[in-house]
Amino acid sequence: MNKLSIELSQKASAQQLLIIGVTSAGEQNAEFMQQDKLRKGQLSQAISDGIISGKKGNTQFVMRVNAKEPNLLLVGVGDTPLTLRHYREVLEAAAEAVNSSKHTDVHCTLPQAEYVGIDAQQALTHASLIFQNSQYRYNDESRGKAAKDPAPVLSRLTFPAVGLSEVEAQTAIAQGQLTALGMATTRTLGNLPPNLLNPEALAEHAKAMAKTHGLKCTILKRADMEKLGMGSLLAVAQGSTTAPRIIALEYKGGKGAPIALVGKGVTFDTGGISLKPGAGMDEMKFDMCGAATVVGVMQAVAELKLPINVVGVIPSVENMPAGNAARPGDVVTSMSGQTIEILNTDAEGRLILCDALTWTQREFKPKQVIDMATLTGACIIALGNHTSGLMGNDDALANDLLAASEQTYDRAWRLPLFDEYDEQLKSNFADMGNIGGREAGTITAACFLKRFIENDTPWAHLDIAGTAWVSGAKKGASGRPVPLLVQYLINQAQAEA
């Protein structure tokens, strides 16, 4: 990934491309007026002639008229003040235009308090994140030479530190950029094909990341899981020729009990014996995006050197149909001792997460547990592709996650976990079934997980089935919910300090 050099500078140099916002009505800002003056009123003339438009997301290059001035990229910002959504769309349009040009050095004046209804630091974080994230290309060598996307040529990006101290501005930039680099790791793991990214390979990737960023990495293999009595996870893994793994990544930057992140790592979900239909099944390679999020967040936390302790745990399996695969009707005993009737082998995520949750709590004694999983198709029906589902047993934790989701625009929405829903998991043959029927499928999946939370440990569950990847022409992992979780952990670190 092309890592930008992002710096502060009050003014664009003549060699840079200068990005300026243009509003659709009323007055233009000081940058615009200054460039207009240098160009003897050409820019305002072009606006009145309708050649330049302030329509939101419109982008237009304006050539320098002499060597002492920068080239311009005029970006329509529409009506101000911008909502966070529109501000981000404007930044995305600007980044796309920059990447379509050959400018290597850019000065961006879009993070302006007068445009956005958010504070200057957040405005800078969003800008750094969006520009760095726009550098991402999936160029694993398995893609083949001909298919590779050319890397953007941008190498340096400067922002004016409007209304911020140097330290505040640098902190904001680092948050945005390091979050985007974490997202890149998450996206690449998600995008890798399932023949290359099986549980063993995922463990190798996590180990390599841990080594580079100074994290402790522990890997459990099948024999370890057998000793621990993880009958539920092992039942999902038993039909695959690639062996399961549990990966633990430990970051120690502070004192006290860690926050645990647990991510679903099904490297391919065929549904097992309850086989999925064929159409679009390739997208079930993304069923490890919860796991990939854990790796990306742990990387960002390490690079940001947050003064807290965090442990990331990834249960990883491949869910395959086979002669030795688990059957609907099988009853298994989880590590917690609770028995489960597997009514549908396609509800496998919860079967691996439950044992991972038990192990995480007993091994690391975390003060909070947050799991993330592409867990239910029902979540896409409920919330579509814009919003992750959030559930949990602790209002304070849920509200803190919602706050982080608003700050980052990596949005989530809470669903209830009332006792009535839990009754849908009743089984005549075990402590519980692994499905709760068609109704409220996202909630009953969370009710299942809740049964494995011990001593009322504050726990939250993010169902990212609709948000972790994009389908269609731009098919690929999105890197969500890395921004939400990194922001949450930053907020926690600040609250503790």
Catalytic residue ranges: 276, 350
Candidate residues 269, 341, 400, 410; the one interacting with Mn ion per rule CB under 5 A: 269
CA distances from 153 to 138, 159, 439, 445 (A): 16, 18, 50, 45
What percent of the chain is helix, strand and coil (3-state, nearest 5)? 40, 20, 40
Peptide bond into 81 cis (omega under 30): yes
Name the residue whose CB lies closest to Mn ion.
Answer: 346
- Quickly tell me which residue has 């990306």 as its tokens: 296
Kind plus residue range of the DSSP H or E element containing 209: helix 199-213
Residue 345 beta carbon to Zn ion: minimum distance, rounded to whole angstroms: 10
Q: What string marks each residue from 258 to 297 as x (binds ligand BES by CB under 6 A) or -?
A: -----------x-----------------x----------
Bridge partners (DSSP) of residue 250 are 216, 311
Q: Which two tokens stand for residue 201?
A: 């390979």
- Which residue stretch of 33-41, 67-75, 104-112, 263-271 sits at the interface with Mn ion (rule: CB under 5 A)? 263-271
Residue 344 beta carbon to Zn ion: minimum distance, rounded to whole angstroms: 11
**CA 141 to CA 197: how far, in whole Å?**
13
Candidate residues 122, 374, 424, 492; the one interacting with ligand BES per rule CB under 6 A: 374
Identify what 377 binds: ligand BES, Mn ion, Zn ion, none; CB under 5 to 8 Å per kind: ligand BES
- Which ranges of 312-370 would DSSP assign to H, the alpha helix? 349-364
**CA 109 to CA 115: how far, in whole Å?**
11
Residue 295 beta carbon to Mn ion: minimum distance, rounded to whole angstroms: 21
Identify what 465 binds: Mn ion, Zn ion, ligand BES, none; CB under 5 to 8 Å per kind: ligand BES
Identify what 355 binds: Zn ion, Mn ion, ligand BES, none; CB under 5 to 8 Å per kind: none
Q: What's 120's DSSP letter?
A: H
- Binding flag, residue 355, ligand BES (CB under 6 A): no
The footprint of Mn ion on residues 175-204 (CB under 5 A) is none
The three-state secondary structure class of 363 is: helix
Bridge partners (DSSP) of residue 463 are 373, 389
The footprint of Zn ion on residues 271-290 (CB under 5 A) is 287
CB-based burial label for 187 (10 Å; 0-12, 13-18, 19+): buried
CA distances from 423 to 279, 283, 432, 443, 457 (A): 33, 32, 9, 11, 22
Tell me the number of residues near Zn ion by CB under 5 A: 4
Strands 459-463 and 368-373: parallel
| Nearest by Cα to 464 from 294, 290, 256, 220 | 290
Residue 396 beta carbon to ligand BES: minimum distance, rounded to whole angstroms: 29
Q: What string marks each residue from 66 to 105 as x (binds ligand BES by CB under 6 A) or -?
A: ----------------------------------------
Select 54 or 349, whichever has its Cβ closest to ligand BES.
Answer: 349
The footprint of Mn ion on residues 345-364 (CB under 5 A) is 346, 348
List CB contacts of 288: < 8 A, sequence separation 6 or more. Answer: 189, 190, 197, 202, 263, 264, 265, 266, 267, 316
Residue 275 beta carbon to Mn ion: minimum distance, rounded to whole angstroms: 10
Select 229 or 377, whichever has its Cβ closest to Mn ion.
Answer: 377
Name the residue whose CB lies closest to Zn ion.
Answer: 269
- Binding flag, residue 377, ligand BES (CB under 6 A): yes
Select 28 or 434, whichever has its Cβ closest to Mn ion.
Answer: 434
Describe the crossing of helices 482-496 and 166-191 by its angle, rounded to 10 degrees: 140
| Nearest by Cα to 417 from 450, 385, 439, 386 | 450
Identify what 378 binds: Mn ion, Zn ion, ligand BES, none; CB under 5 to 8 Å per kind: ligand BES
- Which residue stretch of 25-33, 254-262, 347-355, 452-460 sits at the interface with ligand BES (rule: CB under 6 A)? 347-355
Residue 138 beta carbon to Zn ion: minimum distance, rounded to whole angstroms: 22
- Binding flag, residue 376, ligand BES (CB under 6 A): yes
**CA 78 to CA 86: how far, in whole Å?**
9
**CA 164 to CA 419: how far, in whole Å?**
48
- Which residue stretch of 82-90, 200-208, 264-272, 481-489 sits at the interface with Mn ion (rule: CB under 5 A)? 264-272
- Binding flag, residue 269, Zn ion (CB under 5 A): yes
Select 87 or 268, whichever has its Cβ closest to Mn ion.
Answer: 268
Candidate residues 190, 244, 349, 458; the one interacting with Zn ion per rule CB under 5 A: 349
Candidate residues 78, 441, 479, 483; the one interacting with ligand BES per rule CB under 6 A: 441
**CA 335 to CA 358: how far, in whole Å?**
7
The footprint of ligand BES on residues 444-473 (CB under 6 A) is 465
Tell me the number of residues near ligand BES by CB under 6 A: 15
- Which ranges of 4-148 would DSSP assign to H, the alpha helix? 30-38, 42-48, 84-100, 120-133
**CA 69 to CA 129: how far, in whole Å?**
28
**CA 193 to CA 283: how far, in whole Å?**
10
Contact set with Zn ion (CB under 5 A): 266, 269, 287, 349
Contact set with ligand BES (CB under 6 A): 269, 287, 344, 346-349, 374-378, 435, 441, 465
Contact set with Mn ion (CB under 5 A): 269, 346, 348
